[in-house]
Amino acid sequence: MERAARPLNFLIVEDEPLISMDIEMMVEDAGHHVIAIAAALDEVEALPDGKAPNVALVDMHLARGSTGLDVNSYVQVRWPNAIIVFVTANPQKIPQDFAGAHGVIAKPFSLAGFMSAVQYLEEVVCNPPPVSAPPGSFVASEAFAAFREAP
Amino acid sequence: MDEQEDWHLTDALHHEQGRGDPFAAAVRATRMPMIITDPNRSDNPIVFANAAFQKLTGYSREELIGHNCRLLQGEETDPEAVDRIRKAVAQGEDVAIDILNYRKDGTAFWNALYLSPVRDHTGEIQFFFASQLDVTARVDAHTRVAREKRRIEEEVNKRTADLRAALEAQKLLLHEVDHRVKNNMTMIGSILRLQLREIDDPDFSARLRAMMGRIDALATVHRRLYQSDDVTRFDIGAFAANLAGDLVQASGHRDIRIMTDLRRADVSIEQASALGLIVNEILSNCIRHAFTAGEEGQITIVARQENDQVRLSIADNGIGSSQGDQVPAGLGGIIISRLSRQAGAQIKWASCASGTRADLTITVGAVWNAPPDH
């Protein structure tokens, strides 16, 4: 499997504009690109082909009745190599097996917590195994472990 | 053959007259309804019915003699009960059973029937002897009790369901409130971080960062409380270690190591926020002042619990002591002194050449109980 290189492409799916703006800036501070911000599933579906996201940060509660789980299923089909991380205040709504997603960053997050999670994700995506210890702000799924161990 | 005739003979006698068999006279006169049937005749007919039986059923002797007992059965008589009696008769056994019977006038009564075979010296069944008792009142009482019991059970079930629904609603509400608090805290954090990007003044920006740190500490308290299964306890040692990791990460001092020696140290949730802010001030002060950038440092966190006393010690091996300002100045210091009174915590500072240490002694559950520390 070919490894992505820095800077990574991020897709942000979040219905709260201030929070998505904050996340966007933190991701850019970490040296990565935000290719799109979507507030609901239909906006993700409407994204043009072109740049594929390496990482999708997905809120659970989204606009127009769609959920992070809907987006999770869609992203897995359209961009099978993307790492999907839920960013939610509602981690209880995530199924036990994460529905194939790779982990969760619980809200409310701190600047440090968020940045260390992004740093860790970058190490896993670009150059596994990661040198940093998994940060407390990021909970990984089994799918993520498989991703991390993949040759 | 003549036993039967004897019965008829006896039947014809008047016990008042003192003649005949005294046992037969007793059976005739007792208030207990009794009959005798003859299984050796076709259809096991009644051959004797005492006065009490005639009174109970409303049938005269002439209407009873020669007929099978089934004339007492009616519409709502339980066929299973009838079957049990039939089997007992066929097998020559005793039977005791409550059966719904009907009088001649059609009214029903509950009959506590006791039936047993009477054998001769060879063991052959000669007769069946049956006593009856009108237990309508008792059965009615039972039925009433059973009905009442069922009603109460239904009521209890209904109320239990109501309570369950209320509990579910409460849980949903708690979940909703928790979710809103977390979303709002996320939003506050986002707003402050966005604002911070517009500020050039380093002093102002440092103050805003300290503010964000305090809000992050509160958010961490909330997250740790609601992610655990038990919202009534809050482990202050585990919280301090969690927060220290976040703060070191945020400071960019990658060469500060955090050493922990933690045992379970639970404080009450009323103390959680205040103690969370205090620990945040101590840790951020120590990260800000104790270490020189680029040099290795160490923060040691020790937590212990003994009965209702929790001890938390946060120590660094930095240079803070040489500056003599181990107690944080400004708002940080005020937060520590005010909130420690509120949270029932006492803080001792110790400084020496090898660093600074803050020892917190917390009385679990004590809010506003500790004496003022100045």
- The enclosing H or E element of B257 equals strand B256-262
Assign domain B202-363 to a CATH class: alpha beta
B206-234: per-residue pLDDT in tens? 888 888 889 989 988 888 887 766 777 89
Amino acid B229: pLDDT: 67
> What residue spans of B75-233 are helical by DSSP H?
79-91, 136-196, 202-227
Q: Which of A78, A23, A91, A7 is nearest to A45 (CA)?
A: A78
A91:B179 CB<8 A: no
Average pLDDT over residues B160-168: 93
Q: How confident is the model at residue B3 (pLDDT cuts 50, 70, 90)?
A: very low
For B197, the token pair is: 């990007």
Q: Domains of chain A, with CATH numbers?
A: 9-149 (3.40.50.2300)
- Give the length of chain A: 151
How many angstroms separate the CA atoms of A103 and A125, rounded?
A: 13
Lowest mean pLDDT among A110-119, B2-11, B99-108: B2-11
Mean pLDDT across chain B: 85
For B206, the token pair is: 């440092």
Asked: is B31-134 a CATH 3.30.450.20 domain? The reply is yes
How many angstroms separate the CA atoms of B342 and B272, rounded?
A: 11
A136:B242 CB<8 A: yes
Closest to B179 (Cβ–Cβ): which among A26, A89, A136? A89
Enter the pTM of the model. Answer: 0.64
Range A144-148, long-range pairs (CB < 8 A, 24+ positions): A144/A83, A144/A102, A144/A103, A147/A83, A147/A102, A148/A124
How many angstroms separate the CA atoms of B215 and B34, rounded?
A: 91
A91-123: per-residue pLDDT in tens? 888 888 898 899 999 898 888 889 889 988 888
Query: Domains of chain B: which residue ranges?
Result: 31-134, 137-198, 202-363
A25:B193 CB<8 A: yes
How many angstroms separate the CA atoms of B248 and A130, rounded?
A: 19
B240-285: per-residue pLDDT in tens? 998 998 888 777 777 888 999 999 999 988 889 999 999 999 998 8
Average pLDDT over residues B191-204: 91
- Which residues in chain B touch residue A118, judged by CB atoms under 8 angstroms apart? none
Could you check whether B31-134 and B202-363 share the same CATH topology?
no
Q: Which of A109, A94, A103 is nearest to A55 (CA)?
A: A103
Amino acid B13: pLDDT: 45
- Give the length of chain B: 374
How many angstroms separate the CA atoms of A38 and B109, rounded?
A: 79
Is the pLDDT at B164 greater than 90, yes or no?
yes
* Residue A50, phi-psi category: left (phi > 0), alpha (psi -120 to 50), beta (remainder): left
For B214, the token pair is: 């305090």
B291-337: per-residue pLDDT in tens? 776 778 889 999 999 988 999 999 988 775 544 445 677 888 888 98
Closest to B247 (Cβ–Cβ): which among A18, A26, A112? A112
Is the pLDDT at B374 greater than 50, yes or no?
no
Distance from the Cα of A44 to chain B's closest Cα (Å) equals 22
Collapsing DSSP states into helix, strand and coil, what is residue B315?
strand
For A142, the token pair is: 């089994």
Q: Using only C-alpha atoms, what is the Rg of chain B?
A: 46
Collapsing DSSP states into helix, strand and coil, what is residue B327?
coil
> What residue spans of chain B are helical by DSSP H?
2-12, 22-29, 51-57, 61-64, 79-91, 136-196, 202-227, 236-251, 269-289, 320-323, 330-342
Q: What is the dihedral of CA B268, B274, B275, B276, to 10 degrees?
A: 110
Average pLDDT over residues B179-185: 88
Q: How confident is the model at residue B1 (pLDDT cuts 50, 70, 90)?
A: very low
Q: Which of B261, B286, B300, B265 is nearest to B336 (CA)?
A: B286
Distance from the Cα of B276 to chain A's closest Cα (Å) equals 15
Mutate to test the interface with B, among A92, A109, A138 (most CBs of B within 10 A): A109
B45-98: per-residue pLDDT in tens? 999 999 999 999 999 999 999 999 889 999 889 999 999 999 999 999 999 999
B249:A107 CB<8 A: no
Q: What is the dihedral of CA B336, A135, B228, A18, to 10 degrees?
A: 80
For A68, the token pair is: 């992070």
Q: How confident is the model at residue A62 (pLDDT cuts 50, 70, 90)?
A: very high
Q: What angle do CA A87, A90, A92 make, to 5 degrees?
A: 115
* Residue B123, phi-psi category: left (phi > 0), alpha (psi -120 to 50), beta (remainder): left
Which has the higher per-residue pLDDT, A133 or B360?
Answer: B360
Collapsing DSSP states into helix, strand and coil, what is residue B80?
helix
List, as one string, the DSSP characters of chain A: -PPP-SSPEEEEE-S-HHHHHHHHHHHHHTT-EEEEEESSHHHHHTPPSSSPPSEEEE-SB-GGG-BHHHHHHHHHHH-TT-EEEEEES-GGGS-TTGGG--EEEESSPPHHHHHHHHHHHHHHHHSSSPSSPPPTTEEE-HHHHHHHH--
Please report the ipTM that was assigned to this predicted complex. 0.87
Closest to A108 (Cβ–Cβ): which among B185, B247, B249? B185
Collapsing DSSP states into helix, strand and coil, what is residue B317?
coil
B187 touches chain A (CB under 8 A): yes
Mean pLDDT across chain A: 88
Percent of chain B with pLDDT over 70: 89
Sheet holding B46-49, edge to edge: B46-49, B34-37, B125-131, B108-119, B95-102
